[in-house]
Amino acid sequence: MTKYTDLNVPLRTIMTPGPVEVDPRVLRAMATPILGQFDPAFTNIMNETMEMLREEN
């Protein structure tokens, strides 16, 4: 069985049009485990997100 190492890419600034870098907070959020839609933690996150969206409008 082959054991692969974790992907470890260097931080680069991509010089193409448009925003291309991703904020480290977004990368951390994307790396978190997936929750099911009926998980209480998911419901709490969804309610908090809806509350923040309502404050913006």
pLDDT digits (tens, 9 = 90+) for 16-36: 887 778 888 988 888 999 999
Residue 3 lies in a domain: no
User: Would 38 be classed as within a structural domain?
Assistant: yes
Euclidean distance between CA atoms 10 and 47, whole angstroms: 36
Question: Other CB atoms closer than 10 Å to residue 42's CB: what's the count?
Answer: 13
Q: How many domains, in total, are found in the chain?
A: 1
For residue 6, being part of any structural domain is answered with: no
Q: Looking at the domain assignment, is residue 1 inside a domain?
A: no
How is residue 37 written in tokens? 């839609």
pLDDT confidence of residue 57: 58
3-class secondary structure, 33: coil
Q: What is the mean pLDDT of the chain?
A: 86
Q: What residue numbers bound the domain in which 37 lies?
A: 24-56
Query: What is the pLDDT averaged over residues 42-57?
Result: 88
Assigned domain for 14 exists: no
> Within a domain: residue 51?
yes
CA separation for the pair 27, 36 (Å, rounded): 20
Reply yes or no on whether the pLDDT at 41 is more than 70. Answer: yes
Q: How far is the C-alpha of 25 from the C-alpha of 54, rounded, in Å?
A: 22
Residue 34: inside a domain = yes
